Structure 1
Amino acid sequence: MSLSMPTRRLVRGATSPTTTTLALQQPSRSLSTSPSRPWFWSKKEPSSPTNLKDAITTGTAEARKSLISKLQSRSEAPAIFEDEVAPQQQAVTEKEAAVLSGDQKSSATSGPLTASQKAAQPKTFTRLGGSLVKEALSRSVDPDPQARVRWERKIAIRQVKNGTDAYSLEPRLARIARTERSLHSKSPWLPTSVKKLVHLARQIQGKNVEDALVQMKFSKKKMAAEVTTQLKMARDLAIAERGMGLGQGQEGKMEIQRKDGKWMTVGDRSKMYVAEAWVNKGPVRAKNPDYRARGRMFLKESPSTSLSVVLKEHKTLVREHQEREHRRKKQGPWVHLPDRPITAQRAHYSW
């Protein structure tokens, strides 16, 4: 089917150059109905921060002074405790001014001071210009007074709750930890088994450190040398760290009975003894083959064991003896037939 239309009508319907130019000048619109830039894009972007070096070098004198004052101040925004610190700062400033004025008056009236007079006067400023006034120093020592008050309140509540306050009863364990010294020492893993090392631990348990060292010196066991080394290290740590065994407990001789029933004389209560000694099973050091009959093979494990000791002073033995005596006296005399109410009465025999 052919289209019958005059040629001049086709030419008239064609796009004119002006229309083409206007169409090219109009911006292209996307198919989406949403705007190309959301509403929050229209806001102005924040300007980039000014370079500090440029502000100091190229800025005006007033701008440089204001910038330096801001940098020298403790905080650019108002401080949290400004209402508490401001009166203290004002009092410090007034006191420093009074001190300075007093120094000036004294120097004007009495003339130049001698070296001895200058040394006798209290120093109010350091060599670098810092203030030595008590209120000024308190700002450095106590910069956050409210936090300090909260911490003191928490500690006071904890003391009252645990019974460690001066007006309450101190717990027994807290009193023992405060008045008596002790040291816990653990050796590294030793190349031996638990069954072999436990005999040496039982041999030194309950003895004085000197007696335990003598026992290990004449022992035929291979690990006795290692036990001697660990005892000496624990003794030296107790003396250096805890101040034990320095002869500060000279209170006269006293006869006490130990827990095992043996009696002993205590002269120097700061003398050390092995209160506890035990062994701990460690990891396997190696596994070696053990060839048996009929072509069988097993693995031999090389064990490792550590020795732990607790050193205490004879003051602990005295305290334990006194506690046992107090409990024994509190029980009262032993009665063969105590006066108890008769219960479970029956009219017939129980068998």
Structure 2
Amino acid sequence: MLYSASSMNPLNWIKEKLVPGIRDRQTKEEVQAGKQQAAEEGKRNIFEAASAPQQDGGDGAKKVKATRVRIGWGKPRPTEHKYSTSNFKISHRKLNLLGRQISGKPIDYAILQMQFSEKRASSRIMNMLATARDHAVRYKKLNETKLVVSEAWVTKGPKRSKKLEPRGRGHYGIRIRGSSRMHVVLEEGKTIEEKKAQDRARKLRRIVSAHHVREDKPIRNPPSTWTW
């Protein structure tokens, strides 16, 4: 016995038997006519009523477009980016030496200092500075050429491991190995070229020229006695 496709599918059988004149999709003209009829009868959808353009009562009947308010426009532009390492096994006194070395330096110069440093933790600090620079440029939209390590400080971490330290005459002690982490703050500052130009201008202002006309300025570093 042969079965048709409509008899195998229940939905097709319902369409053919119960609702023979139904159509799957309405045309655009029918949809527009239905919306116009619903608007005249006052049965328009709430979403269509909110998105419909409003008209003023004047002669021109201007259409006012709905403005979309974006969240975050009222926030001020960030000027700094803070980043830190995780707690790792190192003394805070040793790590503070590296923090003093990079504090106040441009970010590229600080990474270069950590690249050629002989300290064991310099490679970790170098990776942290590179990650902080990428995050400041990507997420905070800061200028990469003007990033400066404005602040760098070290904090103590939890004391994780304890180790026995043998001593003389059968005694022993307990050595507690601590941990620490470094925090940095990146800000937009002066580049190396700008600092060099500023130092050069400052040094030129301090120079007293030996011209025919004597200037009314004191001589710098005058000798105490005769030079011969």
* TM-score in terms of structure 1 length: 0.35
Of 150, 172, 191, which residue of structure 2 is paired with 1:275? 150
Q: How does 1:39-188 map to 2 (within 5 A)?
A: 100=36, 131-134=47-50, 178=76, 181-188=79-86
Check if 1:213 corresponds to 2:111. Answer: yes
1:229 to 109, 121, 127: 127
Aligned to 2:184: 309
Matched length: 136
- Aligned partner letter, 1:207: K
Match of 1:197 in 2: 95
CA offset at residue 189 of structure 1?
0.5
RMSD over aligned CA atoms reads 3.4
* Structure 1 residue 233, shift from structure 2 partner: 1.2
1:103-154 CA deviation, whole Å, 9 max, x = no partner?
A: 99xxxxxxxxxxxxxxxxxxxx8xxx774223789xxxxxxxxxxxxxxxxx
Question: Aligned-pair distance for 1:187?
Answer: 0.9
- Give the letter aligned to residue 294 of structure 1: R
Q: Distance in 1 between matches of 2:51 and 2:137?
A: 42
For residues 167 and 117 of structure 2, the distance between their equivalents in structure 1, rounded to whole angstroms, comes to 35
C-alpha deviations, 1:6-59, integer Å up to 9, x for none? Answer: xxxxxxxxxxxxxxxxxxxxxxxxxxxxxxxxxxxxxxxxxxxxxxxxxxxxxx
Instruction: State, as a whole percentage, how many aligned pairs show the same letter.
Output: 31
Equivalent-residue separation in structure 2 for 1:283 and 1:102 (angstroms): 70
Equivalents in 2 of 1:102, 1:290: separation in Å?
89
Residue pairs, 1:26-45, within 5 angstroms: none
The aligned residue for residue 173 of structure 2 is 298
User: Under a length normalisation based on structure 2, what TM-score does the superposition of the two structures give?
Assistant: 0.52
Counterpart residue type for residue 275 of structure 1 = S
More helix by share: 1
| Matched AA of 1:225 | S
Partner amino acid, structure 1, of 2:132: A
Question: Which letter maps to 2:82?
Answer: H
Cα displacement (A) at 1:292: 0.7
CA distance in 1, matches of 2:38, 2:172: 98
Partner of 2:159: 284
**After superposition, what is the alpha-carbon deviation per residue over 1:266-290, rounded to whole angstroms, capped at 9, x for unaligned?**
xx6xx10101000011111211101
Instruction: Give distance in 2, aligned partners of 1:307 and 1:274.
Output: 12
**Dislocated runs of 4+, deviation >2 Å:** 101-104, 133-137, 177-180
**Secondary structure of residue in 1 paired with 2:148:** strand
Answer yes or no: is the 8 Å Cα contact 2:78–2:140 preserved in 1: no
SS, match of residue 117 in structure 2: coil
Q: Rg bigger for which structure? A: 1
1:281-334 Cα offsets, whole Å, 9 max, x none, are 11112111011112111011111110100011127xx9xxxxxxxxxxxxxxxx
Partner of 2:139: 241
CA distance in 2, matches of 1:101, 1:132: 13
**In 2, Cα distance between equivalents of 1:198 and 1:242:** 27
SS at match of 2:173: strand
Q: Kindly tell me: are residues 218 and 136 of structure 1, through their superposed partners in 2, closer, same or farther at Cα, counting changes over 3 Å?
A: same
If asked which structure has higher relative contact order (CA below 8 Å, sep 6+), I would say 2
* 1:33 aligned residue: none
The 3 A distance-change label for structure 1 pair 131 and 214 is: closer
Unaligned runs of 5+ residues in structure 2 are 1-32, 54-74, 195-228
In 1, are the aligned partners of 2:80 and 2:185 still within 8 Å (CA)? Answer: yes
Task: Indicate how the Cα distance of structure 1 residues 102 and 180 shifts in structure 2: closer, same or farther if over 3 A, else same.
Answer: closer
